[in-house]
Amino acid sequence: MATALAAAAQTQPPAHHWAIVLHGGAGVIERSSMKPEAEAAYRASITQATQAAANVLDKGGSAVDAIEAAIQILEDDPLFNAGRGAVFTADGKNELDAAIMDGSNLKAGAVAGVTRTRHPISLARAVMEKSPHVMLIGAGADTFAASVGLEEVDPSYFFTERRWQGLVKQLQKEGRPIPPRPAGAPPPPTGPLTEIEPPEAHKYGTVGVVALDRAGNVAAGTSTGGTQAKQWGRVGDSPIIGAGTYASNQSCAVSATGTGEYFIRLGVAREVCNLVYFKGMPLQQAADQVIHKELEAMHGDGGLIAITPDGQLAWSFNAPGMYRAKLAEGGKLEIGIYNDEP
């Protein structure tokens, strides 16, 4: 018996070391406009979300489980443009997009324009695992969420004052009409905003996580409120499989952030994985090629995080900042915000 067990153990593939890369959006995030309290708050949130993913992976959980755990935290955190704290559309609504992809089987789920589901990332996962479809939109997606028992909230749950002020400011600047304050929102503050940052600093904050689990599988997930003051049911790259989110054990897993229109046209996430797969490029080189050559050639802006099944981790961005973190099993947590950090 003991020999049989020993022989079986020898034929088991070696366990992989788990790893995570996380982003909290890219954009004009500059030291000069960031108060120390704000910076500390972002670093604390990113640390907490990365740790949540690490705890899942360390117990042998899947990359998909780890991604959902981390993104749920960021969706609940009003600092980020995902879930509660999402930016507003020009009509004064929060329309949320999310996607998740499992690199072990190429299964994927995505939602766009969701307004009532507390955790869009969990809805994307439910689309992947509990529906025959890949992408659901709008009211139908929220109805599906309720049918599979996901937590539904009143749309005003997603309201935050500084995002509202951010919308009002942008619309005023552009000479566009200001929509009425959303039903169910708290009354306007009487004094000045006591938020830790000026409203314009809050346009950014899409969140994404890529992970490698002990079984050697990679996955990617992204969640966002899209771009501030968007109109006409606009959908960005985040929930588009191959654009803002992609994962395959054959190559890599990617989550992107930035002006989605460019990322859709370039098929950014799949493009990085194609460079890894077809050209055998190291992951960092593939990420830099797509961001600094291909995206820049189109005058696009943003960034991405990526991971391979053999444990390469990468990020690349061409904006002044991207909230980001990396953690590999047994290693030290690396966190960055500005572009002069490693």
Residues labelled catalytic: 206
The per-residue DSSP string of 298-326 comes to: TT--EEEEEE-TT--EEEEE-SSEEEEEE
SS3 assignment, position 239: coil
Q: Which two tokens stand for residue 101?
A: 């992809």
Minimum distance from CB of 213 to ligand ASP (Å)?
25
Stretch that binds ligand ASP, among 69-77, 133-141, 162-170, 253-261 (CB under 6 A): 253-261
From the list 53-61, 209-217, 231-239, 277-285, the region that binds ligand ASP by CB under 6 A is: 231-239
Question: Which member of 227, 249, 251, 255 binds ligand ASP (CB under 6 A)?
Answer: 227
- How many CA within 13 A on the CB side of residue 217? 19
- Give how far Cα 214 sits from Cα of 18, 176, 206, Å: 5, 51, 27
Could you give the angle at the alpha carbon of 189 between the alpha carbons of 26 and 71, nearest 5°? Answer: 30
- Residues whose CB falls within 8 Å of the CB of residue 35, separated by 6 or more in sequence, listed in order: 196, 197
Using CB under 6 A as the binding rule, whether residue 258 contacts ligand ASP is answered as: yes
Q: Is 238 in the site for ligand ASP (CB under 6 A)?
A: yes
Interface with ligand ASP, residue 228, by CB under 6 A: no
Nearest residue (CB) to ligand ASP, 103 versus 208:
208
Which residue, 226 or 336, has its beta carbon nearer to ligand ASP?
A: 226
24/287 Cα distance (integer angstroms): 17
Q: How far apart are CB 87 and ligand ASP at their closest, in Å?
A: 9
Minimum Å distance from CB 262 to ligand ASP?
A: 9
Among 51, 115, 117, 224, which residue sits at the site for ligand ASP (rule: CB under 6 A)? 224
- Out of 24, 92, 260, 336, the only residue in the binding site for ligand ASP (CB under 6 A) is 260
Q: If DSSP states are collapsed to H, E and C, what string results for 125-144? A: HHHHHHCCCCEEEHHHHHHH
Task: Mark residues 173-212: x for contact with ligand ASP by CB under 6 A, - for none.
Answer: -------------------------------x-x------
DSSP per residue over 161-214, as a string? HHHHHHHHHHHHHTTPPPPPPPTTPPPPPSS----SS-GGGGS---EEEEEE-T
Instruction: Return the range that interacts with ligand ASP (CB under 6 A); candidates 45-53, 133-141, 174-182, 235-243.
Output: 235-243
Nearer to ligand ASP, 57 or 108 (CB): 108
Task: Specify the DSSP element, H or E, that contains 294.
Answer: none
- Taking the least distance from each CB to ligand ASP, the nearer of 217 and 227 is 227
CB of 243 to ligand ASP, least distance (A): 9
Distance from C-alpha of 24 to C-alpha of 73, rounded to nearest angstrom:
12
CA distance 293 to 308: 21
Instruction: Kindly write out the interface string for residues 10-29 of this chain, putting x where it contacts ligand ASP by CB under 6 A and - elsewhere.
Output: ---------------x----
User: Which residue has 């704000």 as its token pair?
Assistant: 38
Q: Is 144 in the site for ligand ASP (CB under 6 A)?
A: no
Binding site for ligand ASP (CB under 6 A): 25, 204, 206, 224, 226-227, 236-238, 244, 257-260
